[in-house]
Structure 1
């Protein structure tokens, strides 16, 4: 499987706006981690950006995971970019 990095942006006031979707979001991430698809994911200290590392069959699978997340569906994440990653060490 290939590793991918994801950088994305949060909406304004993301901490307040995410509240209704937070538990479903976290549960989904836990399921992805259990399946071996998600390596890590989290916000920057200032809560303006999100960073994640995935291990997936292809980029389309990563896009499906991101776009299926309640944060994407409800506008908490406003944009994202995926790049194939080569883990040097």
Structure 2
């Protein structure tokens, strides 16, 4: 299992467009992937789950991946968070 924390730096927080891109990026992977925010955990492959968290600028999230392709999944998450200007590790 891999676990990584990010601080959201985007002024809009984790809103619909980047949340949708994150969900789309991790969905093809077979590993289980979760996002934790303020002690609430959701499946990162669920757009409704991610949006329900309401993550705003300056807050931290933790993403965990567990499975056979967890390393490549987490590399994709890292790449997308940086490319979209969402946050930093």
TM-score of the pair, normalised by structure 1: 0.54
Structure holding more strand per residue: 1
CA distance in 2, matches of 1:6, 1:26: 17
TM-score of the pair, normalised by structure 2: 0.54
The total of aligned residue pairs comes to 72
Give the structure with higher Rg (CA): 1
Counterpart of 1:25 in structure 2 is: 22
Counterpart of 2:34 in structure 1 is: 40
For the residue of structure 1 that corresponds to 2:27, the secondary structure is: helix
Check conservation: 1:41, 1:53, Cα contact below 8 A.
Answer: yes
Q: CA RMSD in A?
A: 3.1
- Structure 2 gaps of 5+ residues are 39-52
